[in-house]
Amino acid sequence: MINIDIPGKGNCQIESLVLDFNGTLACDGQLLEGIEPRLKALASQLDIYIVTADTFGSVRAMVEHLNVKVHILPTGNETEGKLAFINQLHPSHVCAIGNGNNDAAMLNAANISMAVIGYEGLSVKALMAADITTSSISDALDLLIYPLRLKSTLRS
């Protein structure tokens, strides 16, 4: 668990990290450089879930050696599927990271949410739903690895 007191937000106890795959952790189905060591570092503190429609069919192969759980959504209404997944985990203890329209509802539901500007861009819906926007997934994960950075960004 990551426990951080954020002035104006209160004490945040993050137990779960929920991540979109394509556009957030991966581009064209391939895990982005620098992600593995960050996920390994966070796996000792958080339950990590990748929630995806798996457009390229590669997510399991890309992360099978990491201590993460993969939840493949049925094709169709990924927005509702991601939101339902977050709601199963106690949203007040979740940090969610994504970049697309179908991530906006889960970002809005999570206690702490980050929108990532990646190779696929960032949807306006995800941007508006997030607490923080970062220029890369590495920067977003580093905010959790170094939570005082997170505190600096979110305090009021």
Q: What is the pLDDT of residue 75?
A: 82
CA distance 146 to 45: 12
Residue 19 φ then ψ, to 5°:
-125, 135
- How do residues 7-60 score in pLDDT, each as one tens digit? 988 999 999 999 999 999 999 999 999 999 999 999 999 999 999 999 899 999
What is the pLDDT of the chain when averaged over all its residues? 95
- How do residues 69-121 score in pLDDT, each as one tens digit? 999 998 888 999 999 999 999 999 999 999 999 999 999 999 999 999 999 99
In the Cβ-directed half-sphere of 150, how many Cα atoms lie within 13 Å?
Answer: 26
Chain centroid to CA 153: how far? 17
